[in-house]
Amino acid sequence: MSLRNQLITTCLVFMSAQVGATQAFADDARISATSHTEVSHKLTPAERRAASLAASRVLHHAYLARQAIADEDRKKAASEVEQGLKLVRIIESVQPMYTVSAEINAGDLSYTSDEVVASPLIPIYDEVGELELLGPLTAAKREQQMENKNVVEGVDLEYTSLWLNLPFARDGLNQAKQAIADENLAKADQDLALVERSTVFESDLVDAPLATARENLYLAKTRFADKDTAGAREALDAASTALDSYAKGAGEPRSKDVTELRDEISKLSSEMAQGSSNLAAADTESKILSYWDRVVQWWEG
């Protein structure tokens, strides 16, 4: 189980592997249990992209606040922290909520529980966010790796997934806000460093081609919007190649779905090469984004 899935499973206690699934044990057992999970709503692809951008901006404002503290600009630091907290509230207001019901019985003893929880991890898609985030984030990761070490034995900054632990980020920002109000800038900087470390880096060789396809599809959408058809085709072809690699190890039925998407992408690239008159700009951008959305669903799953 990946680090990401371990964290989500821990926070969504008793959550079934599939939303709405119910698990029950034999009626004649000395102890019986049932659990049921329902989700309030699902984010649309556009909403997922917006939440990802918001999560990346939380980290951006934490970084700017640390820069302001280094300049001893308490007013600017407080403003940047407040911007980060505003984004946290925005993300929390749209997050899907999971109602987890559990009932456990043993003889005359009975336990029931209903909890409403949200997944703590918000995905950050590098291609949707801002490139200047990578420097502060990888620096924070290096700092985390150096803790309790006398030497650096090797630092690998490559990753296929990046997630923001929203509760950790919220707590760090609130603590920094209080520290700034108390004029304890050194404490505020420590709190903001913890916000930057609230990112969860995950490296998975299986997911690497999928991440490559995802980023190239978004790049293709951007290049096509800039009227760089040749560049868009190049990115689409790179996405097709990555998906072909991913399909070989994905297993059924995923492999079939991935191959179908690869063929759709290749067809669009060919139409671009032939200068098809059917390629209306808005429709083509929307089509490329729909490819990206499908890859994201596999990547998050």
Provide the pLDDT confidence category of residue 240 given band limits of 50, 70 and 90.
very high
75-100 confidence digits (pLDDT tens): 999 999 999 999 999 999 999 999 99
168-215 confidence digits (pLDDT tens): 999 999 999 999 999 999 999 999 998 988 887 766 666 788 888 888
Structure tokens at 91: 């993300």
Above 60 in pLDDT, residue 14?
no
244-283 confidence digits (pLDDT tens): 988 888 788 889 999 999 999 999 999 888 876 566 788 8
Q: Which residues of 59-70 are buried (b: 16+ CB within 10 A; e: fewer)?
A: bbbbbbbbebbe
Pair 194, 232: CB distance under 8 Å: no
Above 70 in pLDDT, residue 130?
no
Provide the pLDDT confidence category of residue 128 given band limits of 50, 70 and 90.
confident
Kindly report the pTM of this predicted structure. 0.70
Q: Residue 18 gets which letter from DSSP?
A: S
Distance, in Å, from the CA atom of 89 to the CA atom of 84, rounded to the nearest integer, reads 9
Bridge partners for 22 per DSSP: 36
31-60 confidence digits (pLDDT tens): 999 999 999 998 888 898 899 999 989 999
DSSP string, 198-217: TEEEE--TTTHHHHHHHHHH
ω into 253 cis (within 30 of 0)? yes
Above 50 in pLDDT, residue 1?
no
Which residues 6+ apart lie within 8 Å of 15 measured at CB? Answer: 9, 35, 37, 98, 100
pLDDT at 10: 47
116-127 confidence digits (pLDDT tens): 988 888 988 877
